[in-house]
Amino acid sequence: MKKFIVACNNGVATSQTIASKVQDMLDTRGVSAKVEAVDIRSIDTYLASADAYICIIAPDHEFNIPVINGVAFLTGVGEEEELQKLIDIANS
């Protein structure tokens, strides 16, 4: 099962909201994946075992895993496109 992490600089409330929404969207589509909200201060620990990072703020460096635009899940703008990226990763 693929694992996606969500983190932001403002604590875990926004991250948890997005993680829950994305998890529901994936579950509804029958996609097997785990979405987890994590503390940004310990993100490096979680990145090692994640298949994608759902980022709420623009990253200041590159990651070794795909980075998904988390803002799309807050605003709805580009949401389906970003969700499809996660589905493609989950099915790979």
Neighbours of 6 (CB within 10 A): 30
Rounded-to-integer distance, Cα 53 and Cα 3, Å: 9
Domain of 75 in residue numbering reads as: 2-91
Whether pTM > 0.85 for this model: the answer is yes
Region 50-76 average pLDDT: 91
How many domains, the chain?
1
59 has pLDDT over 80: no
Instruction: Summarize the confidence of residues 55-74 as an average pLDDT.
Output: 89
Helices and strands in the chain: count of H runs, count of E runs: 4, 4
Q: For the domain that residue 47 is a member of, what is the CATH number?
A: 3.40.50.2300
Residue 83 has pLDDT above 70, yes or no: yes
The mean predicted confidence, pLDDT, of the chain is 93
Average pLDDT over residues 51-59: 89
Choice between 48 and 8, residue whose per-residue pLDDT is larger: 48
In 29-70, which residue ranges form alpha helices assigned H by DSSP?
Answer: 43-47
Does the pLDDT value for residue 9 go beyond 80?
no
